[in-house]
């Protein structure tokens, strides 16, 4: 295992499954963008949970408990999540994955799951994401299966197995009041310590006290101070040894909900946050966080336009004042981007340009390698590529733009760059940009070209297009497409891929052109024609995405979605509310029930006090007898 995370850390939470409109990560949050805006190096990513199945000795899992957001899936959002994580790490940051949260089924709340299965599931995810720290976000309140002591003891035993096999730090996130840990949360923490789990931090949800009269900054400071005393008390109860107050503070993290949360709580301001950060610095606590970085960024998602936030990253500016153990903030890497033709013809000249971190630069030196004609050269100062007359068709040239620390080390005139020269000068490189160029020698004579292919396609599918000349033969061309939402594309072979997000009725123009992108041979306007589901076809479809308020029928019952869902079976997931439940229906362990649902069990009618699944009437507090 590589070096651990620092002992004190600034690590905001991110909702990784909230859909972000636009952006470059297929709807996933831009972690690197957050890091640049907030100055944070580490992020707690929520949440991975149970996805409704098990095999090969471990539980099926997914981001937000969604099976399509898990390993082995080709879902574009899952790919975007992983790419965003990779870009944050390339930027010098790292992640902590959080399990549990307020919504979904954590591994420890799955009735059939064994200790070994839970442990193996954690190991799978730790290994996949190369994690150094995980977070257990244990929420739900009194009577919840998530906070049930028996379930958490099973989870603690699994976490102990994980720590025996992996060098992994474990944080536990718990609810708190201004008076410290609630009694149930105190017992939860005690349970993990009794099972010999090494707890790195106790992260406090210093938020949502449901008291409009409180100053939430001061209330959260009180919560941290009170919890420090509780940790001293708990440590003595378990070990009969003293835990210093400094060591107790070092075990604590604090996570407020920034901006506007709901009408039951006042707006949490930057002044509140600054008071917390200053207190954290004085007491040298272990972690400062926030819920949630998406909201602080004011991105185009459900978290955007928060009435309690004026400017993007105004909380991040405060949070980075926490004196954590990060030796240096992330440093923006140097990125060189090259623009120019990707298809060229023998005997022609082409101009290439480059930017450094989005800005023009006069410190670029150009090279071209892999040519088959010695006359294929590029001007090292201005980027003008001259393709030799004898350059082979379909050969791939490599155009390279290099930013040098010392341009004097480069020959003033360098007409033919070689691989050996580039390798010899690697020590002088500050950054490197590369661009592959394909030689496509299209005959000079004029052709009559026609695009052949489907004139309508369905979102999420592919369709092959061919350019046919006057002899009814395929002709080499440069393909492009415009229109739609910008996420569809066509490759060099003419294979068009319609994005899954393209709307029905959208027009997209496909063009084929000469390699110099000047003469357009032909264009074809195609229409996105998505399959329309018949109004009376309302049966639940595991492959369909449902939004809040959508209604379906399943096994003779009607259900309504409480939030976005895909693949969660009605009657077995809390995302669905049964609208046709009859009080004479017999209780079953497989059915999901919500607060107010009335059922019959062993001849007695019961009413659910809150959401439940698998809790037997008469045996748990979730049910009350209906008189």
Query: Which run of H or E residues covers position 127?
Result: helix 115-129
DSSP state of 523: E
Residues 113 and 229 in one domain: yes
Is 28 a domain residue? yes
Domain boundary among 439, 469, 491: 439
Distance, in Å, from the CA atom of 293 to the CA atom of 13, rounded to the nearest integer, reads: 6
φ, ψ at 181 (rounded to 5°): -60, 140
Residues 599 and 493 in one domain: no
Q: What is the DSSP string of 473-488?
A: -B---EEEEEETTS--
Instruction: Return the pLDDT at 627.
Output: 72
Is 619 a domain residue? yes
Both tokens assigned to 475 = 């002709």
**Orientation of helix 216-239 relative to helix 270-283, angle to 10°:** 30
3-state secondary structure at position 34:
helix
Residues 139 and 269 in one domain: yes
Is 444 a domain residue? no
Instruction: Return the pLDDT at 523.
Output: 83
Total number of domains constituting the chain: 4
Q: Which residues of the chain have pLDDT under 50?
A: 1, 325-331, 405-430, 444, 516-518, 533, 535-536
Q: Are 490 and 497 in contact (CB under 8 A)?
A: yes
Looking at residue 574, which CATH number applies to its domain?
Answer: 2.10.10.20
Query: Residue 599 is part of which domain span?
Result: 551-625
**Orientation of helix 115-129 relative to helix 149-165, angle to 10°:** 50
Distance, in Å, from the CA atom of 607 to the CA atom of 627, rounded to the nearest integer, reads: 10
Domain boundary among 398, 413, 439: 439
Residues 363 and 427 in one domain: yes
Both tokens assigned to 140 = 């739900």
Looking at residue 292, which CATH number applies to its domain?
Answer: 3.20.20.80
pLDDT in tens, 493-552: 889 998 888 888 889 998 887 654 445 677 888 888 876 545 446 888 988 888 888 888
Is 541 a domain residue? no
The three-point CA angle 333-303-299 to 5° equals: 35
Distance, in Å, from the CA atom of 311 to the CA atom of 305, rounded to the nearest integer, reads: 10
Looking at residue 361, which CATH number applies to its domain?
Answer: 2.60.40
Both tokens assigned to 354 = 């480059």
Please list the residues that pair with 50 across neighbouring strands: 61
Instruction: Return the pLDDT at 431.
Output: 54
Distance, in Å, from the CA atom of 132 to the CA atom of 559, rounded to the nearest integer, reads: 41
Is 590 a domain residue? yes
* Surface-to-core class of residue 15, CB atoms within 10 Å of its CB (0-12 exposed, 13-18 middle, 19+ buried): buried
Is 2 a domain residue? no
The three-point CA angle 389-392-397 to 5° equals: 95
Say what the alpha-carbon torsion angle 302, 305, 310, 316 is, to the nearest 10 degrees.
20
Domain boundary among 410, 439, 468: 439
Q: Are 241 and 261 in contact (CB under 8 A)?
A: no
3-state secondary structure at position 452:
strand
What does pTM read for this prediction? Answer: 0.57
Residues 458 and 435 in one domain: no
Distance, in Å, from the CA atom of 24 to the CA atom of 38, rounded to the nearest integer, reads: 19
Residues 188 and 279 in one domain: yes
Both tokens assigned to 19 = 């859909």
- Strand 287-288 and strand 252-254: the pairing is parallel
**What are the residue ranges of helices labelled H in 195-250?**
216-239, 245-250
Residues 61 and 87 in one domain: yes
Residues 341 and 313 in one domain: no
Is 542 a domain residue? no
Q: Are 515 and 345 in contact (CB under 8 A)?
A: yes
Instruction: Return the pLDDT at 402.
Output: 81
Residues 356 and 464 in one domain: no
Q: Are 17 and 75 in contact (CB under 8 A)?
A: no
Instruction: Return the pLDDT at 525.
Output: 87
Instruction: Return the pLDDT at 429.
Output: 38
Residues 362 and 506 in one domain: no
Residues 39 and 178 in one domain: yes
Residues 458 and 573 in one domain: no
CA distances from 220 to 189, 228, 272 (A): 19, 13, 9
Q: What is the DSSP string of 45-66?
A: EEEEEEEEEEETTEEEEEETT-
Q: Are 4 and 289 in contact (CB under 8 A)?
A: no
3-state secondary structure at position 497:
strand
Is 476 a domain residue? yes
């Amino acid at each position: 295992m590589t070096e651990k995370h620092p002992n004190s850390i600034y690590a905001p939470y991110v909702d990784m499954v909230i859909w972000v409109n636009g952006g470059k990560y297929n709807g996933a949050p831009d972690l690197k963008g957050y890091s640049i805006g907030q100055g944070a190096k580490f992020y707690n990513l929520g949440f991975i949970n149970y996805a409704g199945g098990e095999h090969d000795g471990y539980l099926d899992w997914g981001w937000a408990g969604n099976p399509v957001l898990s390993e082995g899936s080709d879902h574009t959002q899952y790919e975007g999540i992983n790419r965003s994580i990779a870009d944050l790490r390339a930027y010098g940051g790292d992640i902590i994955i959080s399990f549990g949260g307020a919504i979904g089924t954590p591994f420890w709340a799955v009735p059939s799951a064994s200790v070994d299965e839970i442990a193996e599931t954690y190991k799978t995810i730790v290994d996949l994401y190369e994690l150094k720290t995980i977070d257990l976000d244990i929420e739900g309140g009194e009577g919840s299966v998530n906070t049930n002591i028996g379930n958490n003891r099973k989870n603690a035993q699994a976490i102990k197995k994980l720590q025996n096999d992996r060098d992994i730090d474990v944080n536990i996130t718990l609810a708190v009041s201004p008076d410290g840990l609630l009694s149930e949360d105190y017992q939860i923490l005690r349970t993990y310590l009794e099972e010999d789990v090494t707890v790195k931090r106790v992260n406090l949800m210093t938020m949502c006290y449901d008291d409009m009269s409180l100053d939430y900054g001061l209330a959260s400071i009180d919560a941290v101070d009170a919890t420090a005393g509780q940790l001293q008390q708990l440590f003595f109860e378990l070990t009969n040894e003293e835990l210093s107050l400094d060591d107790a503070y070092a075990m604590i993290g604090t996570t407020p909900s920034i901006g506007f949360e709901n009408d039951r709580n006042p707006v949490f301001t930057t002044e509140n946050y600054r008071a917390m950060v200053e207190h954290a610095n004085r007491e040298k606590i272990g972690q400062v966080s926030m819920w949630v970085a998406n909201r602080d960024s004011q991105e185009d998602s459900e978290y955007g336009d928060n009435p309690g936030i004026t400017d993007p990253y105004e909380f991040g500016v405060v949070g980075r004042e926490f004196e954590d153990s990060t030796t240096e903030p992330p440093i923006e890497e140097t990125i060189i981007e090259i623009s120019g033709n990707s298809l060229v013809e023998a005997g022609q000249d082409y101009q290439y340009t480059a930017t450094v971190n989005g800005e023009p630069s006069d410190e670029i030196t150009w090279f071209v390698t892999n040519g088959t004609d010695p006359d294929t050269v590029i001007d090292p100062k201005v980027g003008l590529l001259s393709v030799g007359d004898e350059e082979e068709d379909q050969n791939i040239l490599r155009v390279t733009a290099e930013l040098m620390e010392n341009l004097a080390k480069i020959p003033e005139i360098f007409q033919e760059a070689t691989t050996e020269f580039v390798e010899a000068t690697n020590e002088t490189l500050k950054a490197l940009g590369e661009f592959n160029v394909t030689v496509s020698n299209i005959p000079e004579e004029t052709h009559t070209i026609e695009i052949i292919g489907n004139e309508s396609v369905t979102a999420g599918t592919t369709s092959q297009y061919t350019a046919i000349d006057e002899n009814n033969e395929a002709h080499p061309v440069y393909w492009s497409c415009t229109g739609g939402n910008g996420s569809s594309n066509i490759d060099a072979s003419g294979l068009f891929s319609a994005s899954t997000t393209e709307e029905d009725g959208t027009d997209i123009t496909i063009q084929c052109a000469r390699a110099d992108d000047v003469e357009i041979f032909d264009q074809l306007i195609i229409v996105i024609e998505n399959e329309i589901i018949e109004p009376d076809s309302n049966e639940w479809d595991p492959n369909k995405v449902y939004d809040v308020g959508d209604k379906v029928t399943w096994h003779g019952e009607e259900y309504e979605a409480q939030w976005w869902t895909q693949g969660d079976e009605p009657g077995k997931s809390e995302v669905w509310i049964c609208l046709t439940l009859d009080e004479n229906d017999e209780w079953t362990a497989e059915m999901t029930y919500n607060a107010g649902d009335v059922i019959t069990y062993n001849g007695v009618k019961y009413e659910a006090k809150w959401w439940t699944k698998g809790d037997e009437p008469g045996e748990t507090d979730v049910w009350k007898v209906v008189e």
